[in-house]
């Protein structure tokens, strides 16, 4: 009798992968678009920032720095929109196949990514203001100059913060990509598929 009962429980117990595939957790189109835009924009900003660091000082570099700042302001705007959308929609549910430690790690990593994505351009604004310069977007003034000459301590602090955040953000993106690939290639769950909109059932948020 016990063997028969155990056999029936085994037949009834769903496989974790089956649960994962049945989970209604495809992200909304807005969430996916914001995720993709911010990801591409941040990668572009990181690449351009590292490239700028290798260039010698001069008029050409100054012009490229201004472009970098302008695009940085656009990244800040999109990142804020993504944060507000995330607050409105709520966090997507974890897949049933995700272990508790994976859920905790994912929540922490997403918090780092969101915070660093916002803090990077904000530290860039602080860096410009500490240099006694206004902040403009493609020539249009956004934040006026607030001091008359460069503040050495503030400039050094914001420069160090900006550069440090670039390293943190690059590392977090690398871990994020590796984790997504691990879920797709090793665990074979829906984590990556729902990011790109290939899961069968949509998650409607709250």
For the stretch 120-151, pLDDT in tens is: 999 999 999 999 999 999 999 999 999 999 99
Q: What pLDDT does 119 receive?
A: 96
What does the pLDDT look like over 154-196, one tens digit per residue?
A: 999 999 999 999 999 999 999 999 988 887 788 787 777 777 7
Indicate the domain borders of the chain. Answer: 27-91+111-195
User: What is the chain's Cα-based Rg?
Assistant: 22
**What is the average per-residue pLDDT within 111-115?**
94
Q: Is the pTM of this model over 0.85?
A: no
Burial string for 74-102 (b: 16+ CB within 10 Å, else e) reads ebbeebeebbebbeebeebebbbbbeeeb
Choose between 180 and 1: higher pLDDT.
180
Q: What CATH architecture does domain 27-91+111-195 belong to?
A: Up-down Bundle (1.20)
């Amino acid at each position: 009798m016990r063997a028969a009962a155990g056999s029936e429980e085994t037949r009834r117990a769903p496989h974790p992968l089956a649960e994962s595939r049945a989970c209604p957790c495809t992200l909304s189109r807005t969430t996916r678009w914001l995720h993709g835009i911010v990801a591409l924009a941040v990668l572009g900003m990181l690449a351009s920032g590292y490239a700028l660091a290798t260039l010698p000082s001069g008029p050409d570099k100054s012009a490229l720095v201004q472009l970098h700042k302008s695009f940085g302001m656009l990244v800040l705007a999109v990142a804020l929109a993504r944060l507000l959308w995330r607050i409105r929609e709520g966090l997507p549910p974890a897949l049933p196949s995700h272990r508790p430690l994976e859920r905790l790690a994912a929540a922490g990593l997403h918090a780092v990514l969101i915070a660093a994505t916002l803090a990077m351009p904000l530290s860039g604004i602080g860096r410009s203001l500490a240099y006694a310069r206004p902040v403009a977007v493609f020539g249009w003034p956004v934040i006026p100059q607030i001091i008359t000459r460069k503040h050495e301590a503030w400039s050094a602090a914001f420069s160090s913060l900006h550069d440090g955040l670039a390293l943190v953000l690059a590392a977090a993106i690398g871990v994020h990509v590796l984790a997504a690939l691990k879920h797709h290639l090793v665990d074979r769950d829906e984590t990556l598929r729902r990011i790109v909109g290939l899961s069968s059932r949509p998650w409607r948020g709250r």
